Amino acid sequence: MSNPSSETLSPLLFHSQSGQPESLSEQLLGMKGASLVKLASLGAPVPPGFILATDLCARVSASNGDLHGAISDAIGKGLSQLEELSGLKFGDPADPLLISLRYSSPLPVPNQPQTVLYLGLSVTAPDKACARHGQSRVGWDALFRLVRNFGTEVNGLSRFEFDDILSTVLDEEMVESQHELSAEAAEKVARSALEHYRQQAGREFPQDPRSQLEEAVMAFISRWHSARTRAYVWEQGLDDLPGPALVVQQMIVGTGDKASLAGRFSTHVPGSGERRPHGQFLQSAQGVDLTAGLRMTESIARLEKTHPETYSQLQDWAEKLMAHFKDALDIQFTVEEGKLWLLHSRPSSRTARASLKIALELADKGICTEREALRLINPNVVEEFLHPVLDKHHAEGPLTKGLPASPGSAVGQVVFFAEHAVELAAKGIRTILVRHETTPEDIDGLKVADGIVTVHGGLTSHAAVVARGMGKCCVVGAGEITVNYHINDMNIKGRTVSRNDWISIDGNTGEIFLGQLPQVQPKLEGGMARVLEWADKYRRLGVRANADTAEDAERAVEMGAGGIGLCRTEHMFFEIDRIPVFRKMILAQDEKGRSEALVELLPLQREDFAGLLRVMDGRPVTIRLLDPPLHEFLPRGIRSQSRMAKAMGVPVEEVQRRIEHLNENNPMMGHRGCRLAVTYPEIYAMQVRAIMEASVIVKREGKKVCPEIMVPLISSPRELRVLREQIEKVIQDVRQETGEDVPVKIGTMIETPRAAVNSRAIAHWADFYSFGTNDLTQMGFGFSRDDTGVFLPAYLEQNILDIDPFIQLDKHGIGRMVDIAVQDGRKSNPDIKLGICGEHGGEPESVKFCHGLGLDYVSCSPFRIPVARLAAGQAAVDDPGSEND
Amino acid sequence: MSNPSSETLSPLLFHSQSGQPESLSEQLLGMKGASLVKLASLGAPVPPGFILATDLCARVSASNGDLHGAISDAIGKGLSQLEELSGLKFGDPADPLLISLRYSSPLPVPNQPQTVLYLGLSVTAPDKACARHGQSRVGWDALFRLVRNFGTEVNGLSRFEFDDILSTVLDEEMVESQHELSAEAAEKVARSALEHYRQQAGREFPQDPRSQLEEAVMAFISRWHSARTRAYVWEQGLDDLPGPALVVQQMIVGTGDKASLAGRFSTHVPGSGERRPHGQFLQSAQGVDLTAGLRMTESIARLEKTHPETYSQLQDWAEKLMAHFKDALDIQFTVEEGKLWLLHSRPSSRTARASLKIALELADKGICTEREALRLINPNVVEEFLHPVLDKHHAEGPLTKGLPASPGSAVGQVVFFAEHAVELAAKGIRTILVRHETTPEDIDGLKVADGIVTVHGGLTSHAAVVARGMGKCCVVGAGEITVNYHINDMNIKGRTVSRNDWISIDGNTGEIFLGQLPQVQPKLEGGMARVLEWADKYRRLGVRANADTAEDAERAVEMGAGGIGLCRTEHMFFEIDRIPVFRKMILAQDEKGRSEALVELLPLQREDFAGLLRVMDGRPVTIRLLDPPLHEFLPRGIRSQSRMAKAMGVPVEEVQRRIEHLNENNPMMGHRGCRLAVTYPEIYAMQVRAIMEASVIVKREGKKVCPEIMVPLISSPRELRVLREQIEKVIQDVRQETGEDVPVKIGTMIETPRAAVNSRAIAHWADFYSFGTNDLTQMGFGFSRDDTGVFLPAYLEQNILDIDPFIQLDKHGIGRMVDIAVQDGRKSNPDIKLGICGEHGGEPESVKFCHGLGLDYVSCSPFRIPVARLAAGQAAVDDPGSEND
């Protein structure tokens, strides 16, 4: 704001009768300030105070001290209004107006200062100043709190050292908490704190109340410029934020002896979402003491007995505020000498499951609309209803713990080889497959096992991705396990578990138990179905499935998929009847040899595609042409290589020579994706033919078909043009041969950063894009997801990254590339369809981000489809542009 | 242009007396049109014609035929003006006005139509129409040329099939070229062409002259919308280009019998740049016949004898035009019945070496200024003067040929192991090291060998990069060589070459010769030094060197480096006395073990850095902290592993276990760069200490020091913040310990795409960026440069990529990322210094691109510094913004 005479340079007064306009924004008042003004405007008993608005603070901050006078004036004006309202005087040695100073940022940023309480307290005789509230202890305790928080927030001293002073005296006095201290002991604590302050800060603690307050205000304002806050603000692109507002508010003293207490009142039980008052309180305390853990809190239910009138007032206010805020609430309150004051009200914390129950209740009672209720639900709740959970009531502790890679639970006999899993499954025996790590060769075992455990690998390792795709329970990175493949057992902290022993695993926690634990299937409450209906009604994003087989496709349709967004054709080549033929193609020396093998594969692929198209019956089916490097299809171990050589009638050396030849230093960035097609065009030609012939077959069966052909890994427009011409030629051939004209879209994956920034030229050749955010994340960060296990944990631990970017789409980097590709692509091809088919397509935050980017659909594992539907619905109702839909 | 009555909707007439304004732009007239108008305005004897401007053609094209009338009107108007000027009549059966139609694109685009000649010729009696020019043959030949080019460009028929018709008759008549045909034979050719046209086009060849011309015009206009042209235009971001202009010009008949000829006159000899008329001509021919290769051309010197007047006119015009265009020129001309016509004039083609000679000559003669002369030089010329060349006059043909990876030549005895190279070098014997491929372990051998040959690997393989860095001749990818390490020989197409045999290699051509060829050092003409002075005077870009040792640094200064832009500290660890200590650090189990090894390395690194800083004496020295993954420092072969284990006194299994543990699937995207520092902060701490202590030592010696510390491979701002804090702490420690305050910049490499798009937040923590365009290219394209050998050749062959993006910076993709990073980075940190230190820093086109992006400097191998200086100078004088510097 450039106008220096702006209204907001004055302090903004609020109190419970103030009738402030509700519209003063968080941008101006900060979040806490806006919430207090709102409560006041509803007539709630909030302690009166005034706000130094964000623009005033920003101007003071920018002026390098020139505007110190302005802020001092504003404080003076605000204080005299508060004195008038409260009838107390700031700095009065007896019963003064006490002040709390709160930081009120317009957005949640890290490193905010803690509230400083008891500003304006006499440093020399706090006991006298607080005499009204009870014994001298109250005053000395207040002084200690003032010195500690002031020292910490204004002078940057260590909070721990102040708390040590308190602990020492508590120990000497053999009591648990400061409210039990004698007045003498409390005085000792306060005086020690003052002395500690003097030593550390190199000066006396400021005696003048006004100086205390102004110093604290200036320190709070400058906090916005601390390196940590700056870093965050820059990173989030929030450079334009004006900085914090400050709330200067009358202190309510809850530490007094007479009917004074502090507490938290929740309208619902956080764990279950049941509608029943919940919360805690402490006698003679401030709110901060509730979480300090020094005193045993009392249940809010007890308040009904000890302070029935307060309890009933709280209930009344809870009802009123819930009706207004249309949500379950936590209310912070303090009672001073019997009078109830509300300090803060915010949406209550709750488990995912509780969020569902609360949303349904509020909608049913008409407290909020469907749209509003939809926003209240934690989308992770969906998953809880899809998988059985272990009943651990009678279990011993877990043997060990790994990373929870795919939710649910599994109970089975331990096997260490895929073939053993297949063997036992044939006999109807449940198994848990335990491996160092899994590879595509283990696919048959992964399919039949009930659960999967790996010793190595992270949340995006092969096992984790495949398991999530199958909706199968999986624990990875269980590093305490030592597997001995030779003798078919494993050792966990000295304990041996052998093949065929029973174990139980929990994919939600990563725990591994010995023996057969009972499994309980959570009841899929009807509410879930209703909520998904709401989501479907409002969402703009389509939700498709990543599905490779007709079986997957059936599940996808059950889960509500509107199509298939990614069919990975290579998975079909791993099937037991295809891999030998596919390997024959790889071993072929020339195009002729490859073409002969491809002729054998054609009818098999055609049948695969026909199966998929049949199930999807007119819904779009996006089929990605061959993607992985060829060496992934060749066996690694010498034994398998010998078997392969024998089966193919060639010397094992030839197999090894070929494997050696195909070996790559960085296979992720090597000869794969459409690069295979540039060098071996016949592979894609076979696949396109299979897709088009399958489409004709299914069409002639009287079903609808909507195939979409997707070219992976392009990095330049001419690549797509050349391949598109080849693909169109095959389509034309099949059209002429069959006389059937099946409309088909041809598009591409955007998964190299170069493709993303070159989207304007690429979009001319693409009917659709599907963002392959897994690879885009790998190449964008330069993080090989197979190799991040060594350093990514350190990145998360040191808070360099907030979250594994393979789990949640990285908005500022990878997301920006997607955004560039979307904007540029639509510029040159306004009709282009845009989707995402990385692992992120089933992660709620990422789905919402995709909505914001204006994508047309997300695609994810069948099991995550309900999550994606819900998240897509929430994104739509959160979108300001959709209000009038 | 939206105004339909615009002037350019009329045909724009030009002729040698027309005095056209020179300012009509290429945007409006196309390149060819603008050049003709310019020639006409200078009074040169250009055949008269008119231009259908780009905006007219674009409007006609957009109107879908509605504006056909408008273009027909323009053509009619133009034709009558031409008729008036020439005194001939279009379509006259006897001696008509004949027309050539030329395509004139505003920028060079692929797939332009060839000129159609002889439009307006009578289809039934061309012999009569051309009677003026000689025998009937002339007319029938003209008709054949008309039908062929019209059929090819308008109807899309195959040119080869028309040429086959001609060849067949030439064979029957047993003559070499059409001007030797009898009238009957020429008629047979023309009639067969007409018949072929009828069959292929499915209609008679248009008889009406006006229809011929209008059809051709419409076909030329629509060529702009062909897929290939579209693709190119989209890719280059030239969507806004209006399309071509068309030149409708009076035909000059050079095929006549009487003193008619066509030729090309060059002002300078292309190979040497000598100022002497050069060129060819053919009697009774059109210009196109000069390059068809059917007839032996005559040297332009002969023209002086046969047509002295024409020759003298050409010389006069060459002088005039050269003075005007300020460049050496190629002039295309035709003589019709003794009268000279100029058809085209353009800068002459020339070798890099000739470009230098020409530039110096023109500057010396005052024909152009220094700035103008600078633009004329091919920057590759610099390299020719830096390396000795083989004298192949008496040599047998080469044994084989590989890729020319690093220029120059080398002669030496063949060795197959680095240690043999070291052995022989100790005795003063020159060697050529031949390997399958090289690794960092071969570094000692690479240093002492005179030349390097590898069987595998491309232009950016390890050997190629190291050799270019050392300015050492290198040939890679010589796939016809089979090396047998066991018996120390190699086989090339059946020929055996053994250890200690002499070979000679040519790094400019990739040729490998048996025996000792003589080497000649090209004379570094004084002109080169002058040209580099010019470049230094005008360039805005700084030029620094990539240099790792004091020796490199000395060479860099000699070459004119303004600083060191990249010192790769890891190269220091490969030295024979350091690698064991570094390996000890890698094998250490904990921080303590690592720190102990690092304490040993500290004095060695300090001495390295002191050496560098001493040589550079106040010029900036950018030191990159450790970058490669640790496994690169461990030996690969079992024998080396055993040696290492023995030397370190540990079991070989332990060495192998550690190697196994460090093994990565995609090391390029693995645990390297600053990720090493996040997990093992003590490594960078040692390096920073070494840098700062070295700075203090050199400063106390009375020299100036300007160290810059560079963090590699960051992908997010917090990464840099955390590491910067650690680095600053060490700097502070050294400052306190020594009492010396050495100013030091801390910056980062931008080499992950995520860092490039997140530059706004990162720039807050960086004093400088250096773009690591090698890695940025790898990750942007998803091309592992070690693995592209399998598919990149196919990409270049199929024209999917114009050039290997590791050789020349890819403007549309990687360049855009750099651009985003530059713009965003300067937004948040206007003082940030920006440079590039990838291999591209010494490639002329890339250097010019960097100038355009507004970078502050480029950094390259010492040997490429003169190239970079020259290119930077050229970029500056080409920059329109620099005109008034």
Tell me the per-residue pLDDT of B76-102, one tens digit each, with 9 for 90 and over: 999 999 999 999 999 999 999 999 999
Residues of B with Cβ-Cβ distance to A231 under 8 angstroms: 717-718, 721, 761, 764-765
Q: Which of B278, B462, B571, B631 is catalytic?
A: B462
A311-320, A390-399, B680-689: segment of lowest average pLDDT? A390-399
How far A356 CA sits from the closest chain B CA (Å)? 36
Cα(A389)–Cα(A383) distance, integer angstroms? 11
pLDDT band with cut points at 50, 70 and 90 for residue A841: very high
- DSSP readout, A443-499? HHHHHH-SEEEESS--TTSHHHHHHHHHT-EEEE--TTEEEETTTTEEEETTEEEET
Task: Look over chain B and give the mean of its residue pLDDT values, rounded to a whole number.
Answer: 90
Q: Return the amino acid letter for A422.
A: V
Higher-confidence residue: B261 or B437?
B261
What pLDDT was estimated at residue A427?
83
Tokens of A579: 């891999």
Read off the tokens for A621: 């089916």
Contact state of A781 with B719 under an 8 Å Cβ cutoff: no
A157 pLDDT more than 60? yes
Contact A543, A869 (CB under 8 A): yes
**pLDDT given at position A810:** 96
Picking from A263, A221, A248, the residue whose alpha carbon sits closest to that of residue A105 is A221
Residue at A92: amino acid letter: D
% pLDDT > 90, chain A: 66
Interface membership of B713 toward A (CB under 8 Å): yes
Of A679, A721, A761, the CB nearest to B791: A679
Q: Give the C-alpha separation, A251 to A133, whole Å.
A: 12
pLDDT at B463 (0 to 100): 86
- Cross-chain residue pair A791–B679, CB shorter than 8 Å: yes
Lowest mean pLDDT among A57-61, B385-389, B554-558, B852-856: B385-389
Least Cα distance to A547 among A650, A469, A438 occurs for A469
Sheet arrangement for strand B275-283:
B298-299, B275-283, B261-268, B329-336, B339-347
Give per-residue pLDDT as tens, B163-214.
999 999 999 999 988 888 999 999 999 999 999 999 999 999 999 999 999 9
pLDDT score for B19: 60
Question: What was the pLDDT predicted at B3?
Answer: 37
**Average pLDDT for A766-782:** 97
pLDDT of residue A884: 45
> Residue A119 phi/psi, 5° resolution?
-65, 140
pLDDT at B170: 92
Which of A216-225, A863-872, B462-471, B635-644 is predicted least confidently?
B462-471
**Residues paired with residue A413 on neighbouring β-strands, in sequence order:** A431, A502
Mean pLDDT of B125-145: 93
Min Cα separation A784/chain B (Å): 5
Q: Are A686 and A601 in contact (CB under 8 A)?
A: yes
DSSP B798-850: TTSSSS-TTTS--TTTHHHHHHHHHHHHHHH-TT-EEEE-SGGGGSHHHHHHH
Q: How many helices (H) and strands (E) does chain B have?
A: 35, 31
Nearest CA in chain A to B230: A764
Q: Do B779 and A753 touch (CB under 8 A)?
A: yes
Specify the range with the lowest mean pLDDT, choosing from A11-25, A444-458, B712-726: A11-25
Mean pLDDT check: name the lowest of A619-623, A629-633, B725-729: A629-633
What would the pLDDT profile of A553-576 be if each residue is shown by its tens digit? 998 999 899 999 999 998 788 877
Interface touch A757/B813, C-beta < 8 Å: yes
| Segment B19-27 mean pLDDT | 69
Distance to chain A for B825, nearest Cα, Å: 12
Q: Does residue A462 have an active-site annotation?
A: yes
User: What's the pLDDT tens digit per position in A336-349?
Assistant: 999 999 999 999 98
Local confidence band at A22 (pLDDT 50, 70, 90 cut-offs): low
Cα separation, B476 vs B467, in Å, equals 10
Q: Which helix (H) or strand (E) holds A606?
A: helix A591-616
| pLDDT at residue number A374 | 96
Closest CA to A583 of A638, A647, A669, A663: A647
Answer yes or no: is pLDDT of A754 > 90.
yes
**Would the pLDDT of A138 be above 50?**
yes
Q: Strands B261-268 and B275-283: what pairing?
A: antiparallel
Using 50, 70 and 90 to split pLDDT, how confident is the model at A143?
Answer: very high
The most confident of A566-580, A627-641, A769-783, by mean pLDDT: A769-783
In this model, does residue A10 exceed pLDDT 60?
yes
- Rounded CA gap, B775 and B773, in Å? 5
Q: How is residue B14 written in tokens?
A: 């030009």
- Per the CB < 8 A criterion, the answer to whether B120 and B95 are in contact is no
| pLDDT at residue number A2 | 34
Contact B688, B625 (CB under 8 A): yes
Whether residues A668 and B671 touch (CB distance < 8 A) is answered with no
Q: What's the mean pLDDT when you consider all of chain A?
A: 90
**Inter-axis angle of helices A209-223 and A54-62, to 10 degrees?**
90
Active site residue B837: yes
What is residue A525's predicted lDDT score, i.e. its pLDDT? 63
pLDDT band, residue B741 (cuts 50/70/90): very high
CB contact under 8 A, B787 and A670: yes
What residues 238-297 of chain A have any CB closer than 8 A to a CB of chain B?
239
- Long-range contacts of the stretch B695-700 (C-beta < 8 A, 24+): B695/B609, B695/B613, B695/B740, B695/B742, B695/B744, B696/B734, B696/B738, B696/B740, B696/B742, B697/B606, B697/B610, B698/B610, B698/B613, B698/B614, B699/B740, B699/B742, B700/B740
Residue A483 has pLDDT above 70, yes or no: yes
Position A882 scores a pLDDT of 61
Mean pLDDT across the stretch B598-624? 96
For residue B336, what is the enclosing H or E element? Answer: strand B329-336
| DSSP element (H, E) containing B192 | helix B183-201
Q: How far apart are CA B627 and CA B607, in angstroms?
A: 20
pLDDT in the model for residue B4: 37
pLDDT given at position B437: 85
**pLDDT value at position A151?**
96
What proportion of chain B, given as a percentage, has pLDDT over 90? 65
Nearest residue in B to A756, CA atom: B813
Tell me the shortest Cα–Cα distance from A182 to chain B, in angstroms.
Answer: 46
For the residues of B72-123, what is the DSSP string, one character each? Answer: HHHHHHHHHHHHHHHS--BT-SSSPBPEEEEEE-SS--SSPPPPEEEET--S
Q: Identify the pLDDT of residue B885.
A: 43
Q: Give A359's pLDDT tier (boundaries 50, 70, 90).
A: very high
* Mean pLDDT of the region A192-218: 95
- In a mutational test of the B interface, the residue from A715, A778, A822 whose CB has the highest number of chain B CBs within 10 Å is A715
- Residues of chain A found within 8 Å of residue B718, distances taken between Cβ atoms: 231, 235, 799-801
Residues 6+ apart with CB under 8 A from B376: B327, B328, B347, B355, B358, B359, B362, B368
Question: CA-to-CA distance for B257 and B250, rounded, in angstroms?
Answer: 19
Percentage with pLDDT > 70 across chain B:
97
* B791, HSE (Cβ side, Cα atoms, 13 Å): 27
Q: Which two tokens stand for residue B40?
A: 């006409």
pLDDT tens digits for range A513-550? 999 999 887 665 678 889 999 999 999 999 999 999 99
CB-based contact A237 B665, cutoff 8 Å: no
Residue B6: per-residue pLDDT: 47
What is the per-residue pLDDT for A477? 87
Query: Is residue B347's pLDDT more than 70?
Result: yes
Q: State residue B882's pLDDT score.
A: 61
pLDDT at B480: 87
What is the average pLDDT across B763-770? Answer: 96
Helix H or strand E encompassing B298:
strand B298-299
Instruction: State the pLDDT confidence band at B22, using cuts at 50, 70 and 90.
Output: low
Rounded to two decimals, the pTM is 0.85
Q: What is the dihedral of CA B440, B446, B448, B452, to 10 degrees?
A: 170
Q: Which amino acid is at A877?
A: V
Chain A residues within an 8 Å CB radius of B752: 780-782
Residues 803-822 (A) with a CB less than 8 A from some CB of B = 810, 812-814, 816-817, 820
User: Which residues from A are below 8 Å from B813, CB to CB?
Assistant: 715-716, 753-754, 757-758
- The distance of Cα A72 from the centroid of its chain, to the nearest Å, equals 42
B810–A754 C-beta distance less than 8 A: yes
Residues of chain A with C-beta less than 8 angstroms from the C-beta of B779: 669, 753, 779-780, 782
CA angle B161, B165, B166 (to 5 degrees): 115
Range with the lowest mean pLDDT among A110-114, A262-266, A273-277, A745-749? A110-114
Q: Closest to A231 (Cβ–Cβ): which among B678, B718, B775?
A: B718
Query: Is residue B678 over pLDDT 90?
Result: yes
The 10s digit of each residue's pLDDT in B252-282 is: 999 988 889 999 999 999 888 999 999 999 9
Identify whether the C-beta of residue B229 lies closer than 8 Å to the C-beta of residue B32: no
